[in-house]
Amino acid sequence: MAAPIARPLHQPERFGRLWWLPSHGRGNGLSDTGWAPIADIDAAIVAPLLVELRAAGVPAHAAPRTQRPRHVRRRTPPGGPRCRLWVGTSAYARAEDVLRTSLPVLLERAMS
C-alpha cells in the first residue's frame, strides 16, 4: 500500500488569513503567512490580550473553541478557558514572552 505524498503548499499567503484561522473569531489587525495555536484563554481577557500582543508586534487571533466530543472528559472547570488564541508563526517566541509577562496581570484584573 502506498503512503500519501506530502506536497508542500507554495505561496500560502494567497489563501489569506482565514485559510489558517477559524472564521468566527477576531484578530488584532496584524497578519502573518502562518498561524499556530498557543493557548486557551478566558473570554474575559481576549480583548486586552489582543491589544498587548499588537503592541508587541505579534499577529494574533482568538476564536471560541470548537465543541468537544461527548466522550472526552472535561479537564478545566466550566468557567475556565473558552477561547483559543492563535499567533503568527513568525512571532511565536515573542508571543510566549508577552503571555508570560502580561497574562498574570490581565488575569488578576479580570478577577477583581
Per-residue pLDDT of the chain (112 residues; tens, 9 = 90+): 455 544 454 554 544 454 567 778 899 999 898 899 999 999 889 999 999 999 999 999 999 886 554 554 555 555 566 899 999 999 999 999 999 999 999 988 888 7
Nearest to 38 by CA among 107, 98, 110: 98
pTM, 2 dp: 0.72
Nearest to 98 by CA among 57, 46, 53, 43: 53
Strand pairing report for 26-27 and 35-41: unpaired
Residue 36's SS3 state is strand
Question: At residue 105, what is the residue type?
Answer: V
Residues whose CB is less than 8 angstroms from the CB of residue 76 and which lie 6 or more positions away in sequence, other chains included: 40
Give the model's pLDDT for residue 58: 97
C-alpha cell at 112: 477583581
